[in-house]
Amino acid sequence: MRTLAAEIARHTGEEVELSGWVHRIRDLGKVSFVILRDRSGEAQIVLDRKPDFTHESVITVKGLVAPSEKAPGGVEVRAAEITVLAAADPQLPIPVNQDPAKLSLEALLDNRYISLRIPKLRRIFELQAAILRHFADFLRSEGFTEIKTSKLIGTGTEGGTGLFQVEYFDTKVYLAQSPQFYKQAMIASGMERVFEIGDAYRAEKHETPRHLNEYVSLDVEMAFIESEGDLMDLERRILAYVFAKLAEQNGEILELWGASVPTAEEVGRIPLVSHDEAREIVSERLGRKVFEINPEGERVLCDWAKERHGIEAAFINAYPRKMRPFYTYPLDSKTMSFDLLFRGLEVTTGGRRINEYPMLLDALPRFGLTLEGLGDYPTIFKYGCPPHGGFAIGLERLTQKILGLANVKETSLFPRDRHRIRP
């Protein structure tokens, strides 16, 4: 019966069996200290001999748990029997028991199978798993249904550029950039409130610390809204819930990274500025006129929000029509759309969508689109589609900003960029 490393203090004076990786070896000749690492944490093992195994080998240790002032957690295991389950090559490509900040991101990603053993890096993904859980739990509590839609689409309906092409038997299809059309279809089908956690693909040649060519999109769509205001309210509730759960259950990971999450009260204070106002604020702070909010502008606006509202985040709405996709619901020359910036980075784009067929027909030529080019999409609006809208949160970007990481690639287990298709 296996005991986890984090639980041995409860077994002081008892015989236990531990299994895990050899994290660190201190060989003092007649006695050796070994740190064993498992999914729960670390435990100190004492041997009355030289160890005959290498760093990172997988071992099973049987022994007595005894108090030890110097051991982490105040106890150690006096090894009576050690079995090597899987020996590790002594030439590790990168060290596992040192500060990962000393290694380049390239080295960490090239050696992903080993670098994820570094506890501090692995725990990024424990936090990410918690985000996935709480996002879904919250939406279910508000009557949303989880959907899974196809990522293979027959037509490049969002413009055609930026799509990866797939050889599909005797024809070509594309990897979906988002589940946008499908989640709208589910609104019209009567589910009314849906969410999807799925992969999204962007064939864009950028190489920046904020882009991935494949990422996980947390998509939400909701019927019977009046404006983008209902969507921003929903996102505030989602974030307040997720942040509260992380603070409550994952405080140790946040602390490890020197990070913290906003409180519900702070989320409530996230300011809303129109795109015009945002441009003015950024222009004034940069001392030159800006016409759109680029990455620098996103940082400037979050600094402004931190100073004025005590939270490093801002909603921007009322984007001009030409800056948003054709399906965005217009309001005069603007749109019922919004972005959320969080800690200097856009983490969400959303808005109310056009739901009336005549309005869609009017919008298409403005964007150089035709009904035919949109495939099945217009059908959604021909047979009764309620007012609706939604948004998408980038899972990796949210993880990055919660933990304060420099590059979004750190938050993807196996990131894909223009040059990286392995491991």
Interaction residues for a copy of itself, span 216-245 (CB under 8 A): 216, 224
Residue 82's nearest CA partner among 55, 109, 52 is: 52
Instruction: Give me the least distance between CB of 160 and a copy of itself, in Å please.
Output: 14
**Site mask, a copy of itself, residues 72-101, x = CB under 8 A?**
-------------xxxxx--x---------
Q: How far is the CB of 314 from a copy of itself (least distance, A)?
A: 28
134-163: contacts with a copy of itself (CB under 8 A): 136, 140, 143, 145-155
| Nearer CB in complex with a copy of itself: 262/389 | 389
Alpha carbon of residue 95 to chain centroid: 26
- Does 133 bind a copy of itself (CB under 8 A)? Our answer is yes
| C-beta neighbour count of 174 within 10 angstroms | 22
CB of 218 or CB of 305, closer to a copy of itself: 218
Q: How far is CA 50 from CA 21, 30, 81, 127, 152, in A?
A: 17, 7, 13, 38, 57
Per CB under 8 A, does 70 bind a copy of itself? no
Q: Is 256 in the site for a copy of itself (CB under 8 A)?
A: no
Cα dihedral across residues 275, 278, 284, 290: positive or negative: negative
At 237, list the tokens.
């509730």
10 in contact with a copy of itself (CB under 8 A): no
Q: Is residue 19 involved in binding a copy of itself (CB under 8 A)?
A: yes
Member of 128, 177, 317, 400 binding a copy of itself (CB under 8 A) = 128
Give the number of other Cβ atoms within 10 Å of residue 296's Cβ: 12
User: Which is nearest to 23 in space by CA: 97, 121, 92, 98?
Assistant: 97
Q: How far is CA 360 from CA 245, 281, 364, 367, in A?
A: 40, 33, 6, 11
How far, in Å, CA of 286 to CA of 168, rounded?
Answer: 49
With binding defined as CB under 8 A, does residue 6 bind a copy of itself? no
Hey, what are 170's tokens? 């005797």
Q: How far is CA 297 from the centre of its chain?
A: 22
Of 74-82, 187-195, 239-247, 342-350: span binding a copy of itself (CB under 8 A) = 187-195
Q: Give 72's strand partners.
A: none
Q: Does 116 interact with a copy of itself (rule: CB under 8 A)? A: yes
- Please say which residue, 306 or 420, places its beta carbon nearer to a copy of itself: 420
Q: Is 188 in the site for a copy of itself (CB under 8 A)?
A: yes
**Can you tell me which of 46, 103, 132, 323 binds a copy of itself, judged by CB under 8 A?**
132
- SS3 per residue for 160-190: CCCCCEEEECCEEEEECCCCHHHHHHHHHCC
Residues 347-386, interacting with a copy of itself (CB under 8 A): 355-356, 375-376, 379-386
Residue of 63, 387, 389, 394 interacting with a copy of itself (CB under 8 A)? 387
Residues 309-338 close enough to bind a copy of itself by CB under 8 A:
none
Residue closer to a copy of itself by CB (options 50, 133) is 133
